[in-house]
Amino acid sequence: MSDFQYRSLKLTCFLCILNFLAFVGVAIALGGDAVSGKAVGGHYYLANKGKLTEVSAAVFTYSRWHVVSIFFTHPLAMMIGYRLKKENARRKKAWPVAVSS
């Protein structure tokens, strides 16, 4: 694997993790997420542990799409992390050993 590919994978993994942390932070700040919430009669609610918080349609839609993105980026981060672990082991093994005199 080239250094460019290696660094690209590390960056992608970092961005996936950042997406998850942003989701958690925003969900806490907003009072929940749209997947746990509901839309009833033109009113939109985010939910967290059964507590509903009314939000605008735009915030509800944003929250729903952010949750959907987590379903893709979370497994991607795990797969990339596994690949990076294998690559780190390969690079460590290939690293020249210093010969002492």
- The whole-number pLDDT of residue 90 equals 87
- The whole-number pLDDT of residue 101 equals 55
Q: Is residue 99, in this structure, part of any structural domain at all?
A: no
Q: What is the DSSP string of 6-72?
A: HHHHHHHHHHHHHHHHHHHHHHHHHTSEEEEEEEETTEEEEEETTEEEEE-HHHHHHHHHHHHHHHH
- Domain of 58, in residue numbers: 7-88
User: Number of folded domains in the chain?
Assistant: 1
Q: Is residue 35, in this structure, part of any structural domain at all?
A: yes
- The whole-number pLDDT of residue 44 equals 94
- The whole-number pLDDT of residue 92 equals 85
Q: Which contacts qualify for 53-56: CB closer than 8 Å, 24 or more apart?
A: 55/30, 55/31
Amino acid at 84: L
- The whole-number pLDDT of residue 97 equals 62
Closest Cα to residue 23, out of 67, 83, 64, 79? 67
Look up the pTM and report it.
0.77
Q: Is residue 100, in this structure, part of any structural domain at all?
A: no
* pLDDT in 10s for each residue of the chain, 101 residues: 888 999 999 999 999 999 999 999 999 999 899 988 899 999 999 999 889 999 999 999 999 999 999 999 999 999 999 999 999 888 888 776 655 65
